Structure 1
Amino acid sequence: MLNIKDLKGVIPPIVTPVDAEENVDEQGLKNVIDYVLEGGVHGVFVLGSNGEFYAFDFENQKKAVEITVKHVNGRVPVYAGASAITTKECIKLAKMAEEVGADALTVLTPMFIQPNEEEMYHHFEAIAKATNLPVLLYNNPGKTTNNISVALLEKLAKIENIVGIKNTSLDFAQTIEYIRVTKDNPNFKVLSGSDYFIYATLAYGGVGCVAGTANVAPRLVADIYEKYMAGDYVAAMEAQYRLVPLRNTYNYGSFPVVMKDCLNLIGVNVGHPVKPIDHCSEEKLEALKKVLSELGLIK
């Protein structure tokens, strides 16, 4: 189980390779895990939005968590996504992740429906109470249309096993506020969920990032964190700037295909996205190659 002091650093929401039937591809998933661990990441998050969690039935979600836990084998903490529209389904996923041996849960706000703040509080409270695992909240209003307000976060942070939040929002002021209202709580941490703001989140007192780009450039993303923690702020900032062109490619295709396409291009074969999402166009793949080449990721 995750110790609060280990909630830090670079945690890639790993992509989920699939076979021809769009079921989890075990060898492909192990290859991705090996690649990011060799790149020096500090945790692995399976079944996030980059991992196409919404595309898999319960059996496939369980398989993905099992493979990840077994293959990571305690080298870094494993965060398992337990996100769904209903509280009941999230609890089912949370219990499964705990049984399978994940170290922590990551739970997104509900999608499609729009619960009010009280409903959202009870949703997360019920999930946290249903498990012994630490829970990392996941705010991604652009994708779910639901936002964890600062006032709501203050309340949620008081729940014993809710230990942090990752903010995937381009509203950086909100991340700052999350940090400000929880900074006196030693058992609660804030992480960047937008790869533009990794350095900035650390500067304000955040502890790391859940960065989709760390699927593809784990070493570079880890550099932002490692250099920052070593006090080499110039080098950390330089690494952050080097990462931005890769983050800028997200709109080259339909989310979340771009990181899969990048991995295929650099030789970590992860296959196809889950339909209806398709690969980037030939033109955009050429543009991706240029970005990857400038990062020294392909010859």
Structure 2
Amino acid sequence: MSKKISGVLTAIVTTFDKNGYFSPSAMRLQVQRQLGYGNGIFCGGTNGEFFVLNEKEKLALIETCTDEVAGKAAVVGHIGEISTRETIRLGKQAAGLGVDAVSVITPYFVPLKQEELAWHYRAIADALPVPIFLYNIPARTGNTLQPETVRQLASHPNIIGIKDSAGSYESLSGFLNAVKDLEGFSVLNGPDSLIHQGFVDGCSACISGLANVAPKEINAIWSRFHAGDVEGSRAAQEQVTGLRTDLYNVAFSPAAVKKAVSLMGYDVGESRYPIRFSAADEEKILQIINKYTK
């Protein structure tokens, strides 16, 4: 990859039509919406419902995003599967679709030792022609990458960073401290509550699920910080943190984000997994949207 990924990448929702099938046309509209606010694209992640997409859909999603972005911003595609073999197989196909890098979640369901996680990532990095980001989200996988393991993996020329979605400042700062003297290795912040602090402490980019709902407000945290307006960045973060707290009190984050985008008038479809919203839930979400976004 020729340049370091920086700024905001939206953990973009995957669009479905009224019958629940992937909708490329609706996807392109969401990509353009994000590009309009200066945000890059992280597709097929948690907010993209990768866990309910089949392989054909995952590849169609990546291809649609890279084609629509057309080099105007960074595109990272998530390819993490439960096995090393399947991750490599999917990654080789994704690599030919124009992504700048791929992201690989830790294997899930089966508890693994740190040396086993390290073997998994090295095998993937050895096999793929595209750079990879480690992806730490222990609440969803049951496996946690430790900072020392990440530091060891950072020596691999094809492992260029880590996305940390553990959800705590302790976790994020642990990775930042572990690799602070390693040039070219990026730490990407996952939790929307820590975007500003992540930039202050040295994150090169954030991967934001809430940017689906508030692309302008999320980008303001980065753009103000990048311009030297640290206080303005902090103020933007406070607004986003309020949005995050209120919205996620209604429902699990990917579903709440997608429902919010839908209620804003965008045809993104329903989440596939069995979560349902009452009329009262939808009214709460509308009130939250109106309170925090313009």
Whether 2:130 is the aligned partner of 1:153: answer no
Deviations 1:47-94 (A, max 9, x none): 001000111111111111111111111111110111110001110111
State whether residues 245 and 291 of structure 1, in contact with CA within 8 Å, keep that contact through their aligned partners in structure 2: no
- Counterpart in the other structure of 1:94: 91
Q: 2:266 aligns with which of 265, 268, 273?
A: 268
Partner Cα separation in structure 2 for residue 108 and residue 67 of structure 1: 21
How do 1:48-63 residues align onto structure 2 when only pairs under 5 Å count?
A: 48-63=45-60
1:73 to 53, 56, 70: 70
1:11 and 1:45 in contact (8 A); partners too: yes
Aligned-pair distance for 1:245? 2.1
CA contact (8 A) 1:84 1:90 kept: yes
Distance of aligned partners of 1:255 and 1:243 in 2 relative to their CA distance in 1, 3 Å threshold: closer
Q: Which one of the candidate residues 6, 15, 20 is aligned to 1:17? A: 15
Percent identical pairs in the alignment equals 31
Q: CA deviation at 1:188?
A: 0.2
C-alpha RMSD of matched pairs (Å): 1.3
Match of 1:115 in 2: 112
Match of 1:183 in 2: 180
Q: Which residue of 2 aligns with 1:8?
A: 6
Q: CA offset at residue 21 of structure 1?
A: 4.4
SS of 2:92 mapped into structure 1 = helix
Q: Which amino acid aligns with 1:175?
A: L
**SS of aligned partner of 2:15:** coil
Tell me which residue corresponds to 1:232: 229
Q: Distance in 1 between matches of 2:207 and 2:124?
A: 21
Kindly provide the CA deviation profile for residues 157-215 of structure 1, in whole angstroms up to 9, marking residues without a partner as x: 11111111111122211211211121111110111100000111111111121010011
Q: Does 1:201 align with 2:198?
A: yes
Q: Residues of 2 paired with 1:74 and 1:65: CA distance?
A: 13
Unmatched runs of 5 consecutive residues or more in structure 1: none
**Residue equivalent to 1:245:** 242
Counterpart CA distance in 2 for 1:8 and 1:205 is 11
SS of residue paired to 2:243: helix
Worse-superposed segment, 288-297 or 92-101? 288-297
TM-score (norm 1): 0.94
CA–CA distance in structure 2, aligned partners of residues 225 and 171 of structure 1: 19
CA contact (8 A) 2:12 2:209 kept: yes
Change (3 A) 1:76 1:189: same
Q: For 1:149, give the aligned amino acid.
A: Q
Instruction: Assess if the C-alpha contact under 8 Å between 2:167 and 2:190 holds in 1.
Output: no
How much does 1:20 deviate? 4.2
Q: Distance in 1 between matches of 2:45 and 2:168?
A: 20
SS of residue matched to 2:10:
coil
For 2:103, what is the secondary structure of its paired residue?
strand
- The yes-or-no answer on 1:132 pairing with 2:152 is no
Distance 1:79 1:213 in 2: 17
Q: TM-score w.r.t. structure 2 length?
A: 0.96
Amino acid across the alignment from 2:2: N
- When the two structures are aligned, how many residues end up with a matched partner? 293
Partner of 1:40, secondary structure, is: coil
Residue 255 of structure 1: how far off its partner (Å): 4.2
User: What runs of 5+ residues in structure 2 fail to find an aligned partner?
Assistant: none
Runs of 4+ with deviation above 3 angstroms: none
1:287 aligns with 2:284: yes
Secondary structure, aligned partner of 1:11: strand
Q: CA separation of 1:251/1:93 partners in 2, compared to 1, >3 Å: closer, same or farther?
A: farther
Q: Residue 17 of structure 2 contacts residue 268 of structure 2 at CA under 8 Å; is this kept in 1?
A: no
2:23 aligned with 1:28: no
Q: Is the 8 A contact 1:108 1:140 kept in 2?
A: yes
Change (3 A) 1:195 1:296: closer
